[in-house]
Structure 1
Amino acid sequence: MSGFGLIIAFIIAVIAMILAISKLKVHPFLAIMTISLLLGLVAGIPLVDTKKADGTTVLGLANVIGAGFSGTFTSIGIVIILGALVGTILEETGAAFKLADMVIHVVGPDHPDVAMLIMGWVVSIPVFCDSGFVILNPIRRALVQRTRKSSVAMTVCLAGGLYASHVFIPPTPGPIAAANSLGIGDNLLLVMGLGALVSIPALIATYLYAGHISKKVRAADEADVEPADGEIVKTYDEILKEYGRLPNGALSLSPIVVPILLMALGSISSMAKWSGFGAHLCNFLGTPIIALAVGTLFGVWLLVDMHKIDHFYDVTDKTLKTVGPILFITAAGGVLGKVIAVSGMVQYITSNAPLLQSVGIFFPFLLAAILKTAQGSSTVAITTTAGIMAPLMTVLGLQSPVSTALTVMAIGAGAMTVSHANDSYFWVVTNFGSMTPEQGYKTQTMNTLVEGLASMVGVFVLSLILH
């Protein structure tokens, strides 16, 4: 099959994948792999390797699937594992709580909603947003008790802050996976920088919407009733005492900051065209895998400092169990992208490029938003969209490093839009925020819509400036 029929087959394949995941409850890994296989068969990819008249070899479908799967694992597997391991260590040692405490001291008690917004944004850089909300919710509850400010406003700010860094800033797995799929995995510093920049309109939009919706929605913990599930409300000081001694602030920051500094050093070395052993060392340490490995060593230092080094095995085991599904889903997305790349669809689109070029940076946003809204997982939406986009970047005119990084941002913005009942994060925010599902739609769902659109506006403006 070729031409327009192949495009129709692809659209049907995406719809079938969404239905399989969202309606039939098929695991995303199995759904994506099955759809990739079926799309490859429909597209006419040969079943076995064949040789052309010019002597070149055309991969058979089985080898195409294997190449897409192994290629993704090779480029991203260790990076995702190390990034997640840093996050788990921050949870285990109380360093995540220390980072939150530092933000509160900087912002001050008079602006608890701003504190929750920034706190969530910082903590979710290495920690999954679901876990981050659970970790920081006791602080939110304590601040509600202490300041008598709106619980809804602080819930929306915390959820929005966590979400922004979750979809935009490595070492969260989604952005790392997208960057690698699109060929910019060696320049994660650029992705981090643009991620932080694109987060600004998302955070501003969240803050404004939180102030608006808090006047219309009142959570259970603002009505002087017992929180959901019999949760005991503790004071801020009681929470601190439960942790005992918190880690040193600089040591808590080190697993996050040190990898960023090393990657920055590597980028500076490349741009300045340094030579000699020093340059090789800088480039080696600035490689994402090595930089995150060094960050992990600082995390181990945290465990030693907190006398929890005996927990290291359990922490590592917990991390591997957490990231396993993400790694396999990411690899499945790579398989789909590889099938698309060899199917002939790219060549057909290239010959009819003006339409897609007119959509430009909005195409990955729309695709990710459709996948996110339909099946619920931001990580699945990001990795799948990136796999689909990889062979289309040249067609869309997005092949430069900056344009590629902005494409990662557009995918992230789409993967925000929207969080509702098929998203586990929706239920975490709603339940821990002491809200009903109806209130969750008015707060979490609407805020992710506002946040995603605001982010995409930021991406579009940056694409005009940096193009």
Structure 2
Amino acid sequence: MEAIDPAYGTATLLLIAAGAVALLLFLIMKVKLHAFVALVLVSVLTALVVGFPLADIPAAMMFGFSSTLGSVALLVAFGVMLGRLMEVTGGAQVLADTLIGRFGEKRAPLALGVAALLFGFPIFFDAGLVVFLPIILTVARRFGGSLLLYALPAAGAFAAMHAIVPPHPGPVAAAEALGGSVGVILLVGIPVAVASWYVGVLLVSRYLGARIDVSVPVALFGEVNDGRGQIARDGEGETGDSTGSGAAARMDRKPPSFRTVLLLLLVPLVLISFDTVLDTLTVTGVLEEGESWAAFLSLLGHTPVALLITVLVAIAVLGRPRARMTEVTKILDDALGPICSIILITGAGGMFGGVLRLSGIGDALSGSLADLGISLIVQAFVIATLLRVAQGSATVALTTTAGLIAGAVAEAGLGDFQTALIVIAIAAGATVLSHVNDSGFWLVSRFFGMDERTTLKTWTVMVTTLGLSAFVIALGFWMVV
């Protein structure tokens, strides 16, 4: 669906967007209206105020809702299935114990962050987060304290890699628009992502975790596994309760080995890397479009397909050796119940952001910022930041900004290194200030059991310090080259 022709100027559209966000926060935080209901209501009101034709409002609402729901529903469903199997069989506990044994108890957040940085190289933010969720919760339960101490370093690592480092689609698309080298952006982006993660995420998470207590949620994966891989089974051979409630007896089975769990986690890592790497090679002209073998590997690497395959492997190596298939099916079925709210709220967040994008606010804002008369790298960061805040989508902010300044970059005759710094500045601006018009905000809020106020004080602050850290590093290099 295409954006409408704005009936108002840029300033008025920005005021409408700000008013919509303020109304949404008021309804959720003061009136205590359910977030899903509030998001749908404010989306309708925003479409009316902006001036959508009445007949087009349902389509405008479905534009953001269906696209977000299409990507999130399968991903979250398969992710929680995998997580629940890892939890009840002791696999998450084994992996957590091994990581902590190698890094030490005091370095548990660092261990989770480093693991997420490695796994986040080919895996998108939301896919990485949903796969790592049971590990994060297991470590947090074991050592206590605020969940933020363990969740933010891992989530921030996935966010940093997704925003800055190829072969993720954002930096690749920006490189293509600006005529930069993907290889140079990769070489520059990795150290910048790691450094900005350490300063803007790890250190900040220690500060936030010491001041804001967030309890470990139990809705997704139940209570903590005892580490022995026990699965409930009743005495009559019927399907048991996987949480061990009621009169069900418990069956002791040896938990999987660290190697088994690690290889299981490598399945989505390898499969998804097929899609991301091959897509990058096609964009850069290394591979021709239409290669059948590349298309097949890309299919295997499509995130829902990769997670489906991983769940099937998990059933074979974690579930079936320890329980009957009926019990495994019950475990998977129980895992799906708590995620309905997460999926619907995340989809509604995408609906709200989609309405703002279709309102023409991005185009109007881009036009007014086309010539700011400031340094090119600062201009790139400012434009991406304003677009991110106005319409929510980091990918839209990144690609729009790259297209907007492509002409100026070409006229400046920048080298590959300077172009890479421009891409990083754009990615930094597109990362900051995630709030209620960003579907990722709602995904993090619901996964970690945080209300909207707490998410704004933690997640929004952390991604902002992450983006600012990346921009400061890029600006420093810009000033010395």
Q: What letter is aligned with 1:249?
A: F
- Is 1:115–2:130 an aligned residue pair? no
- Equivalent-residue separation in structure 2 for 1:312 and 1:406 (angstroms): 47
Shift of 1:81: 2.3
Q: What letter is aligned with 1:253?
A: L
- Equivalent-residue separation in structure 1 for 2:68 and 2:74 (angstroms): 11
Is the 2:208–2:458 Cα contact (8 Å) retained in structure 1?
Answer: no
Q: Deviation per CA, 1:268-314: give whole Å up to 9, x if none.
A: 44414277543332222122222222222222122123336444333
- Equivalent-residue separation in structure 2 for 1:69 and 1:251 (angstroms): 37
CA 334–163 in structure 1, closer or farther in 2 if over 3 Å, else same: closer
Q: Deviation per CA, 1:436-467: give whole Å up to 9, x if none.
A: xxxx9xxx97899578525541365369989x
CA 139–314 in structure 1, closer or farther in 2 if over 3 Å, else same: same
Which moves more between the two structures, 275-284 or 202-211? 202-211
Q: What letter is aligned with 1:320?
A: L
- Is 1:46–2:53 an aligned residue pair? yes
Match of 2:156 in 1: 164
Q: Deviation per CA, 1:329-372: give whole Å up to 9, x if none.
A: 2322332233223323334223202478956446776898x99x
Shift of 1:113: 1.2
Shift of 1:261: 0.9
Match of 2:93 in 1: 97
Pairing of 1:231-242 with structure 2 (within 5 A):
240=227
Is the 2:93–2:135 Cα contact (8 Å) retained in structure 1?
Answer: no
Structure 1 residue aligned with 2:343, among 323, 327, 350? 327
- Is 1:2–2:8 an aligned residue pair? yes
- Equivalent-residue separation in structure 1 for 2:405 and 2:256 (angstroms): 43
Q: Deviation per CA, 1:159-213: give whole Å up to 9, x if none.
A: 543443575578xxx99xxx999998xxxxx9x9979973654346666578899
Q: What letter is aligned with 1:114?
A: R
Match of 2:275 in 1: 266
- Equivalent-residue separation in structure 2 for 1:206 and 1:337 (angstroms): 25
User: What SS does the aligned partner of 1:305 have?
Assistant: coil
User: What SS does the aligned partner of 2:255 have?
Assistant: coil
Match of 2:233 in 1: none
CA 99–332 in structure 1, closer or farther in 2 if over 3 Å, else same: same
Q: Deviation per CA, 1:246-277: give whole Å up to 9, x if none.
A: 21223212342111212223344441427754
- Equivalent-residue separation in structure 2 for 1:212 and 1:62 (angstroms): 44
Shift of 1:240: 4.2
Structure 1 residue aligned with 2:57, among 34, 57, 61? 61
Shift of 1:62: 1.9
- Is 1:139–2:139 an aligned residue pair? no
CA 127–393 in structure 1, closer or farther in 2 if over 3 Å, else same: closer
TM-score under structure 1 length normalisation: 0.63
Match of 1:295 in 2: 310
- Is 1:249–2:258 an aligned residue pair? yes
For these two proteins, the number of residue pairs brought into alignment is 387
Aligned-CA RMSD value? 5.4
Q: Which stretches in structure 1 are left out of the alignment for 5+ residues?
A: 49-59, 142-150, 185-189, 219-237, 372-383, 429-439
User: What SS does the aligned partner of 1:394 have?
Assistant: helix
Match of 1:53 in 2: none
CA 239–83 in structure 1, closer or farther in 2 if over 3 Å, else same: closer
- Equivalent-residue separation in structure 2 for 1:347 and 1:448 (angstroms): 25
Is the 1:160–1:448 Cα contact (8 Å) retained in structure 2?
Answer: no
CA 424–407 in structure 1, closer or farther in 2 if over 3 Å, else same: same
- Equivalent-residue separation in structure 2 for 1:248 and 1:197 (angstroms): 35
- Equivalent-residue separation in structure 2 for 1:166 and 1:317 (angstroms): 28
Q: What letter is aligned with 1:246?
A: P
Which moves more between the two structures, 65-74 or 5-14? 65-74
Structure 1 residue aligned with 2:465, among 453, 458, 463? 453
Pairing of 1:178-327 with structure 2 (within 5 A):
198=193, 201-203=196-198, 240=227, 245-270=254-279, 271=281, 272-273=286-287, 276-301=291-316, 302-307=318-323, 309-327=325-343
Match of 2:67 in 1: 71
TM-score under structure 2 length normalisation: 0.61
Is the 2:274–2:297 Cα contact (8 Å) retained in structure 1?
Answer: yes
Q: What letter is aligned with 1:290?
A: V
